Amino acid sequence: MAVTGFLFLFFLVFHCYGNIKMFLGEEAFDGYAHWLRDPLPHFIPAGWFLNAFRGVMLLALIVHVYAAVKLWAWNKKARGRDKYVVKKAIAASPASRYAHWTMRWGGVVIFLFLIAHILQFTTLHLQWGGDYLAEGVGPYNRMVLAFNVWWVWLVYLIAIAAVTLHVWHGVWSAMQSMGWVRASTLVGTRLVSSLAAAAIFIGFMAPPTAILLGFIK
Q: What pLDDT is attached to residue 112?
A: 92
161 in a domain, yes or no? yes
128 in a domain, yes or no? yes
Confidence of residue 87 (pLDDT cuts 50, 70, 90): very low
Q: Is the pLDDT of residue 133 over 60?
A: yes
Distance CA 19, CA 119 (A): 18
Q: Is the pLDDT of residue 88 over 50?
A: no
Strands (E), the chain: none
In three-state secondary structure terms, 102 is: helix
Distance CA 209, CA 152 (A): 11
Q: What is the mean pLDDT of residues 41-59?
A: 82
Residue (of 48, 46, 65) closest to 4 by Cα position:
65
Q: What pLDDT is attached to residue 80?
A: 60
Q: What is the mean pLDDT of residues 129-154?
A: 95
111 in a domain, yes or no? yes
Q: Is the pLDDT of residue 73 over 90?
A: no
Distance CA 58, CA 7 (A): 11
Quote the DSSP letter at residue 21: G
153 in a domain, yes or no? yes
- Compute the chain's Rg from CA coordinates: 20
> What does pTM read for this prediction?
0.82
Confidence of residue 188 (pLDDT cuts 50, 70, 90): confident
C-alpha 169 chain-centroid distance: 13
Distance CA 153, CA 209 (A): 7
Per-residue exposure over 54-91, b if at least 16 CB sit within 10 Å of its own CB, e if not: eeebeebbeebeeeeeeeeeeeeeeeeeeeeeeeeeee
Q: What pLDDT is attached to residue 31?
A: 94
Please state the domain count of the chain.
1
Q: What pLDDT is attached to residue 76?
A: 67
Distance CA 207, CA 148 (A): 11
46 in a domain, yes or no? yes
178 in a domain, yes or no? yes
Q: What is the CATH number of the domain that holds 116?
A: 1.20.1300.10
Q: What pLDDT is attached to residue 100?
A: 64
Q: What pLDDT is attached to residue 78?
A: 67
59 in a domain, yes or no? yes
Q: Is the pLDDT of residue 104 over 90?
A: no
Give me the domain span that covers residue 130.
Answer: 2-212
217 in a domain, yes or no? no
* Percent with pLDDT over 70 in the chain: 85
Q: What pLDDT is attached to residue 25?
A: 95
